[in-house]
Structure 1
Amino acid sequence: MKLHHALIVLAAAFSALTLPASAADKVTTEAVHFTQGASSATMKGSFSGYDSVQYTLSARAKQTLHVKIAGSSNANFNVFSPGDVPGAAQALGAGATGTDWRGELPADGQYTVQVYQMRASARRGAKVPYTITFDIR
């Protein structure tokens, strides 16, 4: 009986090591490019479950960034300062569908805007189509 129990534990441990790569949360990173002379850019996307999209854009200290997201009511975003990593640092700002964020930027560098959905809808695997607009002045 002890051998049978040990084999079950060993099989469970082995199966945990062989999970497919798709079992991990997918993080997609996209650079935001402004056309010459433009101060805003709009991008469309979608994701589902615990996946997320991280938009990167360069800006200077004292500029004002305005972020607006539309689409699914599950679409949320966080804004991170240069050098700050989503999940490891506090966000500079946040917003959601119907709740824009606008703020003066504290430093020169590359900002990250993380688009995600809350855990309750992510757990259900909800698909989140969205349109996000970045405006820098």
Structure 2
Amino acid sequence: MKHVIAVLALACLLVGLAVSASGADQVTTVPVHFPHGASSATQKGHFTGYDSVHYTLDANAGQVMRVSVSGSNNASFNIYKPGDEPGAAEAIGSGGVGTPWEGKLPASGEYIVQVYQMRASARRGEKVDFSAQIAVR
């Protein structure tokens, strides 16, 4: 009987892993374009669970970028320099609601601003509505 229970528990675990592996996280990529004559833009978005939004924009070395988010308290962000990808490289900056980031950019090229939520709320499948303010000067 113990053997049957162990086999059933293992089968449930494997089915759970297969289901979670098949539900790939959705990444939405949105190019950021500043209005003519402006050096900032506000982007509104939403996602659920482990999904995320990647805002891409070109900037030059030495420029200063400022990023802030508002809306859901679950919204957090990371900034990646040209050539770096979320999950494969260390972010050059990060923040969340009430914690903006500002820094001098180290290289010229396409930057990624990743908006996501922390694991605890992502695991619960919470929905995040947010506004991201991105400025480069």
Give the TM interval when normalised to the shorter protein: 0.7 to 0.9
Aligned equivalents of 2:135, 2:118: Cα separation in 1? 25
| Structure 1 residue 21: Cα displacement | 9.4
1:18-38 deviations in Å (ceiling 9; x for gaps): x69971100000000011110
Correspondence 1:40-119 to 2 at 5 A:
40-119=40-119
| Structure 1 residue 135: Cα displacement | 0.7
- Give unpaired runs (5+ residues) of structure 2: 1-6
- Give unpaired runs (5+ residues) of structure 1: none
Q: After TM superposition, what 4+ stretches of structure 1 lie above 4 angstroms from structure 2?
A: 19-22
Structure 1 vs Structure 2: percent identity of aligned residues? 59
| Structure 1 residue 110: Cα displacement | 0.3
| Structure 1 residue 84: Cα displacement | 0.3
Q: Which residue of 1 aligns with 2:4?
A: none
Count of aligned residue pairs for this structure pair: 126
Q: Which residue of 1 aligns with 2:132?
A: 132
- What secondary structure is seen at the aligned counterpart in 2 of 1:94? strand
TM-score scaled by structure 2? 0.85
- What secondary structure is seen at the aligned counterpart in 1 of 2:121? helix
| C-alpha distance 22-71 of structure 1, shift in aligned 2 (>3 A) | farther
